[in-house]
Amino acid sequence: MLANVFTKTVRDRWRVMAIALAALVVMLLLAMSVYSSFDFSLYDDLPEAFRSLMNIPDNADAGSLAIGVLAGLYGAFTLGGLAISMGSASIAGEEKDGTIGILLGNPKSRTDVLLSKMANMVLLTTAGVVGLFVAAYAVSGVLDVNLGEMQVGAYMLHLLANVIFYGMLALAIGAWTGSRGLASGVSAGVMVIGFIAVGIFPLIEGWENLAKVFPWYYFDGADPMNNGVSLGHMGVLLGSSIALGGAALVGVNRRDLKGQTVGTTLLDRLRANPLTQKVVDRLAGSTRVSRIWIKTASEHQGLLIIVAYVMFLIMGVLMGPLYALMDQVLLDYTDQLPEELWAFVGSEGGGMGTPEGFYEVETFGLMVPIATMVVAIVIGARGLAGEEANRTMGLLLASPIKRRTVVVEKAYAMVALTLLVGVATWAGVWIGSLLGGLGMNPLHIAAASLLGSLIGTVFGAFALAASAATGRVRAAVFAAVGVALVSYLINSISILNDTVEGIAAFTPFDYYLTGDPLNSGMHWGHGAILASATVLLIVAAVWLFDRRDLRQSA
């Protein structure tokens, strides 16, 4: 199988796409079933700019709104994230894992390997979009929802072109730099910034055309759901993807590839500096790795820097001045809209007429939980299973250190870095408020940021427990992300459907924004519940890890 890079890569990655598609289909089924009972006459009178912000198509009904929200928001981010993951892992990931030499040891050129990886990414993302297209008609048929003249196929073609672009961007960056973290971070940043800009810039007079700078605009800027395929917009995305693919081919053939990870960590650089050497050596402990949490935190510094930067600057600082430039009449209008409109963007339905409501929709509703969970779940999943996969767990346990100490110190690192994301968010939103003259309470911002961090630590601790139980990184990640997705869905639907309101009380998201922390401050009961859940899951991880035979090979 190794001789056929394409087949092996498909075999390794098809399950991830299948799981993601299954989750999107479930979300589509739930959304369409809930929306099918709504009166959509209100949405026909919404201003064009606001419909663009909320991704509400013209003449909205249950089918178009469900497909627009699921495909245009969750589908685009989910499939785009998978494409970025595949693109960044194609060359840079193989270098990081030290397996690029094995691939090139076969009678395959660098170009063959890259093209095989590229074809795999395109095939799997195409399969995901086709599956979503089929599901749209299957679900609408089961629920007897008429899709009418909606051009779902055109919308899905735009979605596919959008997703492939971000995958190709990650592939090109990884091929030129050999850094998987840089490839993933830059590509994800371009995707997130584009989504936000395309939604917000039309609300600012004179800024409408700036949205065309971002690739996301060419996904749904021409409204393919109603107007069909835009050849010009498709040409921009596909032409850019081809150019990025060519750039990747040039990059991978011009650069000396790394056979293993050779990067220098922040801890290493601090140790090399005479001014910080003694302090860092004391914190880091002896060669018996008595401070495992510092080592773990240093290993994930790149992820922390990227996520904290996005939350501080883009989702925090920049949002304040942007809000001050927006049409206040249009923003005040949002306060009259029903709460169900806000449910699937993570807001409790307060509208955007106030700075607090705007930040809840744009920053705290979705982006804060995603940011904190990304950091926490990655560290939690790799904390134990990653050491086993890398065959370094034996080195840790060969020192005079207990298994439970390893788990606890990994948990320290997970909690510390997740809280740092919350601190970055708090600082960014507060500075944004000051720059925009919004007058938001810094203590209330801190409360929302802390609750957002605690949401992350809950699912990070769950990933740590799954990692301790299975010894496999992918299993831990899928389990944590799956539980998080189900929790989020239940909490969102509880706003729309009273029958599941009681179930929502068992989800962590029910204790996040329901106390309206940006207006009312910290709800200490909710914070205590989330913190207690984190501690209990860490205790479970200790118990599970103490009782499992560890693997010493991948």
Task: State the amino acid at position 20 in one-letter form.
Answer: A
Show Cβ contacts of residue 35 under 8 Å, excluding neighbours closer than 6 positions: 62, 65, 66
Is residue 64 in a domain? Answer: yes
Terminal-to-terminal C-alpha distance of the chain: 18
Q: CA 145: distance to chain centroid?
A: 30
Q: Are residues 72 and 86 in the same domain?
A: yes
Is residue 167 in a domain? Answer: yes
Q: How far is it, in rounded angstroms, from Cα 341 to Cα 348? A: 10
Is residue 507 in a domain? Answer: yes
Token pair recorded at residue 456: 């992350």
Q: Are residues 328 and 273 in the same domain?
A: no
Q: Where are the alpha helices (DSSP H) in 437-516?
A: 442-470, 473-496, 501-504
> 3-state class of 17 per DSSP?
helix
Distances 89 to 377, 394, 405 between C-alpha atoms, Å: 19, 27, 32
Q: Are residues 254 and 270 in the same domain?
A: no
Question: Looking at the 3D structure of the chain, how many domains does it have?
Answer: 3
**Sign of CA pseudo-dihedral 189, 67, 62, 29:** negative
**Dihedrals φ, ψ of 151, to 5°?**
-100, 75
* CB-CB contact of 99 with 117 (8 Å): no
Is residue 192 in a domain? Answer: yes
Q: How far is it, in rounded angstroms, from Cα 226 to Cα 222? A: 9
Q: Are residues 152 and 275 in the same domain?
A: no
The tokens 């026909």 sit on which residue? 44
Reading the chain (554 residues) residue by residue, the pLDDT tens digits are 445 777 877 887 888 888 888 888 887 887 777 666 665 555 555 555 555 555 555 555 556 667 777 777 778 888 998 999 899 888 877 777 667 766 666 667 888 888 989 999 999 999 999 999 998 888 888 877 777 677 889 999 999 999 999 999 999 998 898 888 788 888 988 998 888 888 788 777 778 788 899 999 999 888 888 788 999 999 999 999 999 999 999 988 887 776 554 455 555 666 666 766 666 555 554 444 457 778 788 778 878 888 898 899 989 998 999 888 876 656 665 555 555 555 555 555 556 778 888 898 889 988 899 999 999 999 999 888 777 777 777 777 766 678 888 889 899 999 999 999 999 999 999 999 999 999 999 999 999 999 999 999 999 999 999 998 888 888 888 889 888 888 887 777 776 666 666 777 788 988 998 888 998 999 999 999 999 999 999 999 999 988 776 665 54
Q: Are residues 38 and 85 in the same domain?
A: yes
Q: Are residues 309 and 434 in the same domain?
A: yes
* CB-CB contact of 335 with 296 (8 Å): no
Q: How far is it, in rounded angstroms, from Cα 73 to Cα 344? A: 9
Q: Are residues 335 and 432 in the same domain?
A: yes
Residue 483: exposure state from Cβ atoms within 10 A (0-12, 13-18, ≥19) = middle
Q: Are residues 197 and 307 in the same domain?
A: no
Show Cβ contacts of residue 438 under 8 Å, excluding neighbours closer than 6 positions: 320, 323, 324, 355, 432
For residue 544, how many other CB atoms are within 10 A of its CB? Answer: 18
* CB-CB contact of 103 with 113 (8 Å): yes
Q: Where are the alpha helices (DSSP H) in 336-472?
A: 355-359, 367-389, 393-398, 403-436, 442-470
Q: Name the CA radius of gyration of the chain, rounded.
A: 23
Q: How far is it, in rounded angstroms, from Cα 8 to Cα 82? A: 17
Is residue 59 in a domain? Answer: yes
Among 261, 278, 313, identify where a domain stops: 261
pLDDT (0 to 100) of residue 286: 46
Phi-psi region of 330 (alpha: psi -120 to 50; beta: other; left: phi over 0): alpha
pLDDT (0 to 100) of residue 265: 54
pLDDT (0 to 100) of residue 4: 74
Distances 38 to 50, 439, 496 between C-alpha atoms, Å: 19, 36, 10
Q: Are residues 269 and 314 in the same domain?
A: no
* CB-CB contact of 408 with 297 (8 Å): no
Q: How far is it, in rounded angstroms, from Cα 140 to Cα 491? A: 23
* CB-CB contact of 377 with 477 (8 Å): yes
Is residue 295 in a domain? Answer: no
> Which domain does 212 fall in, by range?
1-261
Q: CA 253: distance to chain centroid?
A: 31
Q: Are residues 244 and 167 in the same domain?
A: yes
Distances 466 to 110, 475, 480, 481, 541 between C-alpha atoms, Å: 37, 7, 8, 11, 7
Q: How far is it, in rounded angstroms, from Cα 369 to Cα 360? A: 12
Task: State the amino acid at position 215 in one-letter form.
Answer: P
User: What is the pTM (predicted TM-score) of this model?
Assistant: 0.79
Residue 335 DSSP code: G
Is residue 337 in a domain? Answer: yes
Nearest Cα to 31, choosing from 350, 486, 344, 338?
344
Among 272, 290, 308, identify where a domain stops: 290
Token pair recorded at residue 44: 């026909």
Distances 24 to 219, 339, 341 between C-alpha atoms, Å: 19, 23, 19
Q: What secondary structure, in 3-state letters, does 238-283 show?
A: HHHHHHHHHHHHHHHHHCCCCCCCCCCCHHHHHHHCCCCHHHHHHH
* CB-CB contact of 296 with 379 (8 Å): yes
Task: State the amino acid at position 345 in one-letter form.
Answer: V
Nearest Cα to 70, choosing from 141, 131, 9?
131
Q: Are residues 167 and 65 in the same domain?
A: yes
Q: How far is it, in rounded angstroms, from Cα 21 to Cα 33? A: 18
pLDDT (0 to 100) of residue 35: 65
Q: How far is it, in rounded angstroms, from Cα 481 to Cα 164? A: 23
Is residue 336 in a domain? Answer: yes
The tokens 């730099």 sit on which residue? 177
Q: Are residues 90 and 235 in the same domain?
A: yes
Q: How far is it, in rounded angstroms, from Cα 143 to Cα 32? A: 8
Q: Give the angle subtended at the CA of 111 by the CAs of 109 and 117, to the nearest 5°.
A: 110
Q: CA 57: distance to chain centroid?
A: 24
